[in-house]
Amino acid sequence: LRNVGIIGTGHFVPDKVLTNFDLMKMVDTSDEWIRTRTGIKERRIADENTATSDLAVEAAWRALEDAKIEPEEIDMIIVSTVTPDMNFPSTACIVQDKLGAQNAFAFDIEAACSGFIYGLAIAQQFIATGSCNKVLLICADTLSKITNWEDRNTCVLFGDGAGAVVLGAVDEGYGILSTVLGSDGKGGEYLYLPGGGSRMPLSEEVLEKKLNTIQMNGQEVFKFAVKVMASASVEVLEKCGLTPDDVDFLIPHQANIRIIDSAVKRLSLSYDKVYVNLDKYGNMSSASIPVALDEALKEDKIHKGDVVLFVGFGAGLTWGSAVIKW
Ligand code: ACO
């Protein structure tokens, strides 16, 4: 089996900034509440003509350029999203067309905020066995389109953006050392979007009750997240024969600074090894981790040979962790 690693990264976020002060004009909230309870100061919002694939394509071009490969060289395109342009075709097929990646097969995955780790694990299998040489994994969401802007419990948390990586075979000893994926469908009711699917097709009632927007039990998601961020981290490190002491850099899902703080404490990591950008972007679902990765690399925070730990959680409920030797 071949070793599989990330050979290029890129990200894209919309220009429009929505600050906590802007939100104070929309719902009964305060900058202080949002900052102290979540760590978020502002987020990016796509305009009404921008769909998820538009963000995805921009991030993809940047990752391809970084990897120094042409679209024709891609064998497989995975898009992780909970806000596809439409139900079908997949956003990945739309992206394939826009990139001119005619040699790739393309499909979407839906593991909510854990999508980056799920995508890494899928890409790894295809490349390790030699079925594919180059895989483009894009995590993109326009959560602003499924947000209830009158619900202060949720609307302060989310933002729009896209992160992309190119995966390929790498030298022995480098690349993805291990991944852990998990799901617990029993927790589905804590974070869901009930309206607009086959169970509850769009209707006037759905629109009136705003059931086509994110419904969340924040405290239950919080409790789950705090537990699983630590346990999934320890589990994947153990699979590699490593401990938290061996971690050179941690890129966690960017949902809430208190969730990250708790994971960092439980793992006894020092804060200079942890990347945080939720203050400027909020929670961008599965795009959060690859956007953070791209920024950390461009800021020269990750070096060859570093052990990088990724961990995330999301609707489903789902979780995932990965260790990559850079
Ligand atoms: N501004 C002011 N007050 C608010 C706001 C707001 N934006 N939102 C909630 N409140 C109020 C509540 O109404 C409540 O008031 P009450 O006591 O009078 O009822 C009070 O603040 C406290 O609410 P809690 O829910 O206890 O606040 P908590 O400290 O739990 O923080 C939060 C809420 C930030 C949502 C937290 O629970 C959290 O981050 N949960 C995880 C959510 C998450 O990460 N979701 C995304 C998962 S990933 C994915 O797949 C998209």
What amino acid occupies position 3?
A: N
- Kindly indicate the confidence band of residue 56, based on its pLDDT and cuts at 50, 70 and 90: very high
Helix (H, G, I), strand (E, B) or coil at 170: strand
- Model confidence over 60-83: pLDDT tens digits? 999 999 999 999 999 999 999 999
- Model confidence over 81-90: pLDDT tens digits? 999 999 999 9
- Model confidence over 260-301: pLDDT tens digits? 999 999 999 999 999 999 999 999 999 999 999 999 999 999
- pLDDT at position 106: 98
* Cross-strand partners of 80: 109, 139
* Rounded CA separation 254/218 (Å): 15
Mean pLDDT of the chain: 97
Strands 76-80 and 135-142: parallel
**Residue 158 CA: which ligand 1 atom is closest?**
51
* Rounded CA separation 267/55 (Å): 34
Residue 253 annotated to the active site: yes
- pLDDT at position 49: 96
Q: What is the mean pLDDT of residues 15-23?
A: 98
- pLDDT at position 206: 96
Distance 183 CA to ligand 1 centre (A): 23
- pLDDT at position 31: 98
- pLDDT at position 266: 94
* Rounded CA separation 36/310 (Å): 24
- Measured from the CB, is residue 314 less than 6 Å from ligand 1? yes
Helices and strands, number each (H, E), in the chain: 11, 13
Residue with tokens 């393309």: 106
**Residue 23 CA: which ligand 1 atom is closest?**
7
- pLDDT at position 308: 98
- pLDDT at position 5: 98
**Residue 38 CA: which ligand 1 atom is closest?**
34
Q: Could you tell me how far CA 61 lies from the centroid of its own chain?
A: 18
* Rounded CA separation 188/315 (Å): 7
- pLDDT at position 238: 97
Strands 160-170 and 3-12: antiparallel
Closest CA to 77 of 94, 54, 58: 94
- Measured from the CB, is residue 226 less than 6 Å from ligand 1? no
Q: How many Å is the Cα radius of gyration of the chain?
A: 19
- Measured from the CB, is residue 229 less than 6 Å from ligand 1? no
ipTM for the predicted complex:
0.90
Specify the residue with its C-alpha closest to ligand 1, atom 12. Answer: 153
Distance 70 CA to ligand 1 centre (A): 44
How many percent of the chain have pLDDT more than 90? 100
Q: What is the mean pLDDT of residues 29-42?
A: 97
Please say whether the beta carbons of 214 and 147 come within 8 A. Answer: yes
- pLDDT at position 234: 97
- Measured from the CB, is residue 152 less than 6 Å from ligand 1? yes
Distance 153 CA to ligand 1 centre (A): 5
- pLDDT at position 74: 98
- Measured from the CB, is residue 262 less than 6 Å from ligand 1? no
- Measured from the CB, is residue 221 less than 6 Å from ligand 1? yes
- Model confidence over 158-217: pLDDT tens digits? 999 999 999 999 999 999 999 999 999 999 999 999 999 999 999 999 999 999 999 999
Catalytic residue among 3, 11, 20, 113: 113
Residue 113 annotated to the active site: yes
Burial class for 68, CB neighbours closer than 10 Å (0-12, 13-18, 19+):
exposed
Helix (H, G, I), strand (E, B) or coil at 229: helix
> pTM for the whole thing?
0.95
Q: What is the mean pLDDT of residues 105-123?
A: 98
- pLDDT at position 270: 92
- Kindly indicate the confidence band of residue 58, based on its pLDDT and cuts at 50, 70 and 90: very high
- Measured from the CB, is residue 218 less than 6 Å from ligand 1? yes
* Cross-strand partners of 324: 176, 308
- Model confidence over 219-261: pLDDT tens digits? 999 999 999 999 999 999 999 999 999 999 999 999 999 999 9
Residue 87 annotated to the active site: no
- pLDDT at position 16: 98
Distance 33 CA to ligand 1 centre (A): 10
Please say whether the beta carbons of 233 and 259 come within 8 A. Answer: no
- Kindly indicate the confidence band of residue 320, based on its pLDDT and cuts at 50, 70 and 90: very high
Distance 31 CA to ligand 1 centre (A): 14
